[in-house]
Amino acid sequence: MFGLTEKFQQMFSGLVGKKVLTEDNISDAARQVRLALLDADVNYSVASNFVKRVKEKGVGDAVIKSVSPGQQFTKLIHEELVSLMGTKESPLEIQAVPTVILLCGLQGSGKTTQCAKLAAYFKKKYSGKRTLLAACDLQRPAAVEQLKTLASQIAVPVHTGMEGEKDPVRVAKEALHKARCEGFDILIVDTAGRLHVDAELMQQLVEIKAAINPHEVLFVASAATGQDAVKTAVAFDKDVQITGTILTMLDGSARAGAAISILEVTGKPLKFEGVGEKMDDLQLFNPHSMADRILGMGDVINLVRKATENIDEEESRALEKKILKATFTYDDYLKQMAMVKRMGSLKSLLKMIPGMSDFGAIDFDEKQFNKIEAMITSMTMQERMEKVELVPSRRHRIAAGSGTHVDDVNRMVKKFKELKRLCKELPALKNQMKKGNMPWNP
């Protein structure tokens, strides 16, 4: 959870019990907002202007009797955060053939990794389009090999130039020529970084940009660096005119300052965010989603997106019917686990559910899910479909085949039977709820 989230939640709890929003309690809350934003490394002028707008709108808001002052102020903060971060997504448009995308940034910002992640993103989004990567970081040892290794994981080709090539401008030109001649739809160009902004780096970028005339120039930065990322983005924009930003490490950063400030300071949108180490852990930056996360409201937008992308709707509906009728089998259980795993770790999914963000901090042992998967895959198809009883001899064989203990198999079978029993009781419970006749006291 962002440190900013905790401070906002403490501030909102301070408004509990207040009957109305007054100028005094708004001023006090606004002061706390300002301190929280500065502590999260939000740009000073951005924080000041943000608080000014909040105070003006808060004092001018009509009191809604059905909504508490805390809820009203939360809504106001949410709206201003969304407005500050751009109100809508800024996707990359793939229209020209090839569409050329140039990535730049400081050394250690993760440019090479983001090049591969971006290629994976396009491959998933545009299944019929072909992407080519260009390895133009010839300064950092092993940068070319790193890009080739990452690209091999997603089966995307890399243009590296002649062996021993030292001129990144020549490599970029060759890659563009190759993309045009061989019908690639997208060309993503990796470039060298430095430990700080310097004239040599900028001149090299200017020359590469002039040689390939990219449609997008994306600045890559780590969210963990806070305002340093924003300041560096301004410096790069001055010389190479960036079109947007990719922020990495937003999943683990305690500070959301860079995400909040970067559009306001640079005038260029935050286009993508890195949310993990896997190749598919790159997503479009959504201001509403980010505002939700900052205020501890989960991330329904990206949760729904993950479900849509990874869960087969027809298969899901069929499984839902089986669950309601309590006719699902071990094989159905295995399919459901596979669908959930495609969406990411259970820990990351829990963070996205409103009201359950704190559970994301719990150290879940996801090996238990792997253990259950191993036990079910060690069953015969007859056993998975519950055509035969899992007698002790079968349970011992399943344990041996899955590398688990027979006690593990017994626990899984017991929990599975309990789950089916609960599902059988669901229709009766639903009827009781409709009649208002629950078997327990609320």
pLDDT of residue 427: 57
Q: pTM for this one?
A: 0.72
CA–CA dist 426, 332 (Å, integer): 19
Q: Are residues 74 and 113 in the same domain?
A: no
Structure tokens at 31: 């002061």
Q: Are residues 131 and 208 in the same domain?
A: yes
Domains in the chain, number? 3
Q: Are residues 70 and 120 in the same domain?
A: no
pLDDT of residue 68: 67
Q: Are residues 215 and 111 in the same domain?
A: yes
Which regions in the chain score pLDDT beneath 50?
1, 63-66, 254, 359-362, 429-430, 433-442
Helix (H, G, I), strand (E, B) or coil at 217: strand
Is there a domain that residue 430 lies in?
yes
Residue located via tokens 């800024």: 90
CB distance 16 to 70 below 8 Å: yes
CA–CA dist 113, 190 (Å, integer): 9
Residue span of the structural domain in which 338 resides: 309-435
Residue at which a domain ends, from 250, 268, 296: 296
Q: Helix crossing, 406-435 with 392-402: angle to 10°?
A: 110
The CATH number covering residue 56 comes to 1.20.120.140
Q: Are residues 166 and 125 in the same domain?
A: yes
Q: Are residues 322 and 356 in the same domain?
A: yes
pLDDT digits (tens, 9 = 90+) for 83-123: 989 989 999 988 889 999 999 998 888 899 999 999 999 99
Sheet holding 131-136, edge to edge: 158-159, 131-136, 186-191, 99-104, 216-222, 244-248, 270-274, 282-284
Is there a domain that residue 317 lies in?
yes
DSSP per position, 121-190: HHHHH-TT--EEEEEE--SSTTHHHHHHHHHHHTT--EE--STT---HHHHHHHHHHHHHHTT-SEEEEE
Paired with 99 in beta bridges are 186
Write the CB contacts of 314 (distance below 8 Å, at least 6 apart in sequence). Answer: none
In which element (H, E) is residue 103 found? strand 99-104
Is there a domain that residue 187 lies in?
yes
pLDDT digits (tens, 9 = 90+) for 218-242: 999 888 887 888 889 999 999 999 9
In which element (H, E) is residue 418 found? helix 406-435
Burial class (CB in 10 A: 0-12, 13-18, 19+), 137: buried
Q: Are residues 292 and 315 in the same domain?
A: no
pLDDT of residue 61: 55
pLDDT of residue 433: 44
